[in-house]
Chains A and B, each alone.
Chain A
């Protein structure tokens, strides 16, 4: 049972346009969400996060939106740049069976076309 889902395995966007990456979760007890970016042959790099008590967090070109009622979060990248081409993972942090656990989505590969 996948508790964190990224339903789009890939996404292509023109340089300068907005990239929107989506993530859905099933457990309403998650209290923290993170986005990671991963280049080939490298470990994931923390990008941006949001606490469940907020609905938006912005950092430069990156904004994460959280819709708790829909159990949905999204990452917006504006404007998209070729260097943003990578795999993006969303992760949720919360308690499962009494212990905190990271649950990662399966990732979305973003390709920004020059």
Chain B
């Protein structure tokens, strides 16, 4: 079966713009989590969605938001982009919310803010 699909793979935006990233989970998976990976900070948890509801949220400013649709696809939005938002954004899907389940990751979206 198809894995986790993230689009686009690469993106270049300018400061102040907004961006929307998309994640299609593995068929049947209802939980989607988003992570930001940067060389200086490593991997950081953004938020988790299950059945269209945000269940958990990391320590990111309100410029970072997300949503999940009825087909479990999720989008992440970053408004008023800053240079420091340049990172690899990873999405992971799992059958259930985080608790003894495997999470499968997509290949990520590489966002560059100039």
Contacts and interface: CB of A to CB of B under 8 A. Distances in A.
A45 B56 contact: yes
Contacts of B56: 44-46
Interface of B: 41-45, 48, 55-59, 92, 94, 97-105
A80 interface: no
A49 B48 CA distance: 14
Interface of A: 31-32, 34, 36, 43-46, 48-49, 51-54, 59, 91, 93, 99-102, 104
A34 B102 CA distance: 15
A36 B45 CA distance: 12
A99 B102 CA distance: 8
Nearest to B101: A102
A102 B103 contact: yes
A52 B41 CA distance: 9
A46 B105 CA distance: 19
Contacts of A34: 45, 98
Contacts of A59: 59
A54 B98 CA distance: 23
Given A44-B98, A59-B59, A32 B43 contact: yes
